[in-house]
């Protein structure tokens, strides 16, 4: 009953059950251009999407405020940047320890991504390290040393490809 009540209260506060405000076609075109080149000026962005600069400023500002755009960053090739050894580590944790475990995982050097998942394990961790010794330290000492971690399993990454991702246009 609590879930239903939360949904009803959410609707009364203007929340329609979606995780964020709807993104329209113009927003999707803006996102697609920014994914291609996050360094472009608003003027160039507006020209490419065929909207005014004022509209582009307003829309990008809203997308930032709404958390749709979470930042602008460079894409780094981990191997060329000196992180040539990568692995996915699945971690089983004790019930109700996600917050504590995730807080500690995110502060371990070489941990790039942490996700709560469903299945045989609870957490999936992406580790990118400079060499096998550093990876071994993270996988066999740091992660198992976190209170609440029950077990882990590691998969070495031999090759990676980037998928097409969401089609924003």
**Ranges of each domain in the chain:** 2-65, 85-157
Closest CA to 69 of 36, 108, 27, 104: 27
φ and ψ at 151, to 5 degrees?
-160, 160
- pLDDT tens, residue by residue, 33-59: 999 999 999 999 999 999 999 999 999
According to CATH, the topology of domain 85-157 is Alpha-Beta Plaits (3.30.70)
Quick one: pLDDT at residue 165?
A: 83
Q: Over the stretch 86-116, which tens digit does the pLDDT of each residue have? A: 999 999 999 999 999 999 999 999 999 999 9
Domain pair 2-65 / 85-157, same fold = no
Q: Would you state the torsion angle of the CA atoms of residues 77, 79, 85, 88, taken in this order, to the nearest 10 degrees?
A: 10
pTM for the full predicted model? 0.77
Query: Is the pLDDT assigned to residue 16 strictly greater than 70?
Result: no
pLDDT recorded at residue 18: 55
Averaged confidence pLDDT in the chain: 89
Give domain 2-65's CATH number out of 1.10.1060, 1.10.10, 1.20.120, 1.10.8.
1.10.10
């Amino acid at each position: 009953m609590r879930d239903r009540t939360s949904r009803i209260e959410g609707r009364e506060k203007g929340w329609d059950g979606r995780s964020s405000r709807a993104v329209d076609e113009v927003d999707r075109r803006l996102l697609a251009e920014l994914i291609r080149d996050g360094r472009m000026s608003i003027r160039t962005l507006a020209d490419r999407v065929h909207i005014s600069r004022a509209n582009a400023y307003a829309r990008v500002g809203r997308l930032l405020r709404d958390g749709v755009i979470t930042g602008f960053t460079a894409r780094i090739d981990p191997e060329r940047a000196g992180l040539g050894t990568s692995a996915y580590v699945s971690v089983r944790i004790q019930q109700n320890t996600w917050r504590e475990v995730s807080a500690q995982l995110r502060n371990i050097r070489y941990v790039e991504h942490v996700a709560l998942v469903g299945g045989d394990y609870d957490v999936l961790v992406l580790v990118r390290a400079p060499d096998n010794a550093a990876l071994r330290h993270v996988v066999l000492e740091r992660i198992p040393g976190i209170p609440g971690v029950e077990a882990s399993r590691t998969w070495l990454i031999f090759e990676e490809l980037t998928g097409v991702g969401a089609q924003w246009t």
